Amino acid sequence: MLVIMTDNQLISPQAVCSSCLMADRHGQPRWHQGVLRCGRQVASLDQVKSIQFECQMGFRVADIE
C-alpha cells in the first residue's frame, strides 16, 4: 500500500497527489516497479521492509505492507 507520511499520520496519495502537477493522468504518484519517478530515495525502513522517498512537493512516500 502506497502512503504519504507526515510527523504523526499516514495519508492516502489520492488526498495529496490529485492536485500535484507531477502526478500521472489519474492523479496518482508516478510509482513504477517500486520506485517513485516523481521523487528521490531518502531512506530505507528496515522494520517494515520498505524504501522511503521524498516527492517533488516535499512529502515522504513509502510502500508499506
Euclidean distance between CA atoms 41 and 35, whole angstroms: 8
Instruction: Please tell me the number of Cα atoms within 13 Å of 21 on its side-chain side.
Output: 2
Euclidean distance between CA atoms 17 and 61, whole angstroms: 11
- Residue 33, all three cell numbers: 516497479
Q: pTM of the full predicted structure?
A: 0.77
- What mean pLDDT is predicted for residues 30-45? 86
In the chain, where are the structural domains located? 2-63
Q: Does residue 25 have a pLDDT over 70? A: yes
pLDDT band at 46 (very low <50, low <70, confident <90, very high): low
Helix (H) or strand (E) holding 4: strand 2-5
- What mean pLDDT is predicted for residues 27-51? 82
Which tens digits make up the pLDDT trace of 1-12? 899 988 899 999
